[in-house]
Copies of this chain bind each other. A is one copy, B any other.
Amino acid sequence: MNEFTRLDAIVKRIAESTVRRLSIYLRFLEEFEVRGSTTVSSEELARRGGTTSAQVRKDLSFFGSFGKRGLGYSVPELSTALREILGLGREWRVVIIGAGKIGAALAQYRGFRQRGFNILAVYDSNPEKVGRTLEGIEIRDMSRFESDVERERPEIAVIAIPGEGAQEVLDRIVRTGIKAVLNFAPVQLHAPADVTVKAVNMAMELEGLSFALSNRD
């Protein structure tokens, strides 16, 4: 074991690509857990994750020494470690803004709660929708947003509205002190450096495909 056994002792900035791969490794480990495998090598994780064994070992090495030389990694131990690293050992409180198609799809997405993301409420300004529920989750009027956040202290906000109002909504979110935002609106948003904004942008991925199709030899 090296000096990083305490996970909170991490100092260096971890690359986004590393974090993404950790998610992928964890997904495989959970498959292995179900199947009852006990150990796994960096080589095997690499093959499944579409990367190299050196990359797997390097990614893990930022956080500690989890393997046994000559043997590999214990599946349950590494799963636990990765869940801890990714902050999945606890519950996160989530609010969704926008009860349209995307918001509704998210509200009923099972994998959400499964991984510890607890949806407190969905917000919308359409009076037609306010008061209804989506899979048992209340649709509340957007005017209540700030006061609700103060009381319920969600850590994560999801923007699921069309592009036009998105920056304005983000500004409101930022003002409440929420530090993590998942954006489904197909626009580039700006937030202070201490607020993490991740985007899920289908339009951009499609254009990436269009580019790839147009530029093959």
Q: Give A contacts to B, CB under 8 Å.
A: 10, 14, 16, 19-20, 22-24, 26-28, 48-50, 85-88, 92, 101-102, 104-106, 108-109, 111-112, 115, 117, 155-156, 179-182, 186-188, 190, 194, 196, 198-216
Q: Is the CB of B196 within 8 A of A182?
A: no
Q: How far is the CA of A19 from the CA of B204 in the complex (A)?
A: 9
Chain B residues with CB under 8 Å of A198's CB are: 205-206, 208-209
Shortest CB–CB separation between residue A91 and chain B, in angstroms?
10
Q: Is the CB of A23 within 8 A of B196?
A: no
Q: Is the CB of A213 within 8 A of B23?
A: no
Q: How far is the CA of A111 from the CA of B206 in the complex (A)?
A: 11
Shortest CB–CB separation between residue A134 and chain B, in angstroms?
11
For this chain, the copies found in one complex come to: 2
* CB<8 Å pairs between A and B, sample of 24: A14-B211, A19-B211, A22-B207, A23-B208, A48-B188, A86-B210, A86-B214, A87-B210, A87-B213, A101-B104, A101-B109, A102-B105, A105-B105, A109-B202, A115-B203, A179-B213, A194-B216, A196-B208, A196-B212, A196-B213, A198-B205, A199-B205, A200-B200, A200-B201
Chain B residues with CB under 8 Å of A24's CB are: 188, 204
Q: How far is the CA of A212 from the CA of B10 in the complex (A)?
A: 12
Q: How far is the CA of A86 from the CA of B212 in the complex (A)?
A: 8
